[in-house]
Amino acid sequence: MDEQLLIKQCKQQQRQAQQRLFEELYPSAYRLSRRYLFRSQDIEDVLIGVFVRIFRHLESFEYRGEGSLRKWVNTIVIHECIRFLSAYRPVITEEDVTFLAAERDWDGDPSGVDAEQVMLILDQMPAGYRTVFNLYAMEGYTHSEIAGLLNITEGTSKSQLSKARNHIIEKLKERKSYGTL
Amino acid sequence: MEPYDLDKFIRDKVKEAELAFPVNKREVRDRIWNGINRQLKLRPASWLKVAVLIVFLLIPAGVLVLQNTRQKYQIKDLRNQINLLQQDYRTMGKKLAQTQNQTPAIVHDTIMLIQPAVLTTRTDTLEVIRYITDTMVVYQQPKLAGSTNAYEDLAYPAADTGDAASELKHFSPAISEFILSDAKKDLRSKPGQSRSFSIIFGSGNTGKEDSQMNGIKAKL
């Protein structure tokens, strides 16, 4: 069905159309939220909040061609994930960024590292590192945007990204040295 | 390799891993959809439920309050009536003595003692009777020697010159018997309606005949 028509029907509170839209958006929303959260229960809770928010605010959404809906939904997913993560404590606390951690050497040869292991490394990272890394490296946010989203300074965002990269490199090296690669 | 390449490497691996995510698991999808549905439906329904609940809670409470208020007013009204009646009969007891020369004495605006023990009332007769039975204090003259009825006793107390004759004997309750001459079946006459019956005032310890002899006929 035409996406625009589906949106129109959803705006008219047609439950069947809402279900269809959910079915279409659910996989990408699940994948996106999984980058920030790794407990399935948390992901389910966040996705419920995401879609409730989508259906309640769909009236304010303006269709601007193909992909605009997905972009809008992705923004909501990211916002909801961050909100969930910072519900009990801030994802990142402000830090002294006078000296940014020097990024470690990376020989760029992670051959043999499978996707599952990379996901494990990311899951084991502190939430602050993971969030900033995801926003910067995966979603393409700028430090300025990240700072606004997480309510931190740009310096902190840069620092967190640097630490996240070092963490990943270290873990990749560990795995290589232990012969897990 | 530049950090960008690390980012690209991670990005590619993550996207690869995401393909294996259980996004097609029906039960997870259904659980999430049910959660969404519940929240979307609950919002208006919860308001409605709360509103209905409040109404259901308030209706009986409101009825109780109304009933209570009504009862309070009724009780207040009855108390006022009782107070008035008490005043009436306290006064009536005193006035009995003043009516011995058969001059009508107004006891109260609703009760009039026309002659000894002949009363007219515009109040609920049943209330009057109940009150008389319960609380009335009657000053009765000792029977005069040679007199045959209570009228004489009350009408001519001064005729007796003995010591006992001048004493007013106070006892309560003093009514031994009601003789309902009229409206016997409809004692609950409305205020303002005239009902006629007799009340015998007396000691009540001498049987019907004596009682009638010693009593006073009252008309309500």
Q: What CATH number did the domain enclosing A107 receive?
A: 1.10.10.10
Same domain flag for A58 and A95 = no
SS (H, E, C) chain A: CCHHHHHHHHHCCCHHHHHHHHHHHHHHHHHHHHHHCCCHHHHHHHHHHHHHHHHHHHHHCCCCCCCHHHHHHHHHHHHHHHHHHCCCCCCCCCCCCCCCCCCCCCCCCCCCCCHHHHHHHHHHCCHHHHHHHHHHHHCCCCHHHHHHHHCCCHHHHHHHHHHHHHHHHHHHHHHHHCCCC
Q: How many cross-chain Cβ pairs, A to B, lie less than 8 Å apart?
A: 82
pTM of the model: 0.52
Buried/exposed B173-195: b ≥16 CB within 10 Å, e otherwise: ebbbebebeebeeebebeeeeeb
Q: Using an 8 Å Cβ cutoff, are A125 and A164 in contact?
A: yes
Q: Please indicate if any CB of chain B lies within 8 Å of the CB of A52.
A: yes
**Domain check: are A75 and A157 in the same one?**
no
- Please give the pLDDT value at position B187: 46
Please state the separation of Cα A80 from the chain's center in Å: 10
Residues of chain A with pLDDT under 70: 1, 89-111, 176-181
Of the three residues A37, A70, A85, the one that is the final residue of a domain is: A85
Span B18-26, mean pLDDT? Answer: 81
Distance CA A47, CA A26 (A): 8
Buried b (16+ CB within 10 A) or exposed e, B199-210: bbbbbbeeeeee
Query: Which one has a higher pLDDT value, A48 or B121?
Result: A48
Q: Which residues of chain B are within 8 Å of residue A113 when distances are taken between CB atoms?
A: 13
A contact test, residue of B4, B7, B10 with most A CBs within 10 A: B10
Predicted pLDDT at B97? 54
Query: What proportion of chain B, given as a percentage, has pLDDT over 70?
Result: 37
Q: Which residues contact A35 (CB under 8 A, 6 or more apart)?
A: A122, A130, A134, A138, B14
Mutation target vs A (from B6, B34, B42; most A CBs, 10 A cutoff): B6
ipTM reported for the complex, 2 dp: 0.81
Same domain, A64 and A135: no
**What is the pLDDT, as a whole number, of residue B148?**
44
Nearest-Cα distance to chain B for A119, in Å, is 6
pLDDT at B21 over 90: no
B3-13 pLDDT, tens digit per residue, is 447 888 888 88
Kindly indicate the confidence band of residue B131, based on its pLDDT and cuts at 50, 70 and 90: low
Burial of A86 (0-12, 13-18, 19+ CB in 10 A): middle
Provide the domain limits for residue A68: 3-85
Domain count, chain A: 2
For A35-69, the pLDDT digits (tens) are: 998 888 889 999 999 999 999 888 888 888 888 99
Q: What's the CATH code of the domain at A58?
A: 1.10.1740.10
Q: Could you give the C-alpha distances from B125 to B75, B85, B107, B174, in angstroms and in order?
A: 19, 11, 16, 18
More confident residue, B142 or A154: A154
Chain A contact for B7, CB < 8 A?
A: yes
Q: Is B106 on the interface with A (CB under 8 A)?
A: no
Shared-domain flag, residues A66 and A141:
no
What's the pLDDT tens digit per position in B28-80? Answer: 888 999 899 888 875 555 677 788 888 888 898 888 889 888 888 888 888 88
The two beta strands, B105-106 and B111-115, are antiparallel
- Average pLDDT value for chain A: 83
Of all residues in chain A, the one with the smallest CA distance to B19 is A31
CA-closest candidate to residue A15, choices B41, B45, B44: B41
Pick from A23, A54, A85: which residue ends a domain?
Answer: A85
Residue ending a domain, among A85, A103, A129, is A85
Q: Do A108 and A161 share a structural domain?
A: yes
Instruction: Return the residue of B nearest to A104 by Cα.
Output: B3
Q: Are residues A101 and A79 in the same domain?
A: no
| CB-CB under 8 Å, A107 with B1 | yes
Tell me, yes or no, whether A180 and A99 share the same domain: yes
In this structure, the answer to whether residues A110 and A63 fall within a common structural domain is: no
The verdict on A7 and A26 lying in the same domain is: yes
Between residues B1 and A85, the one the model is more confident about: A85
Do residue A79 and residue A98 come from a single domain? Answer: no
* Residue A154 shares a structural domain with residue A175: yes
Q: Please give the torsion angle defined by the CA atoms of residues B149, B151, B152 and B155, in that order, rounded to the nearest 10 degrees.
A: 160
What is the mean predicted confidence (pLDDT) over B157-166? 37
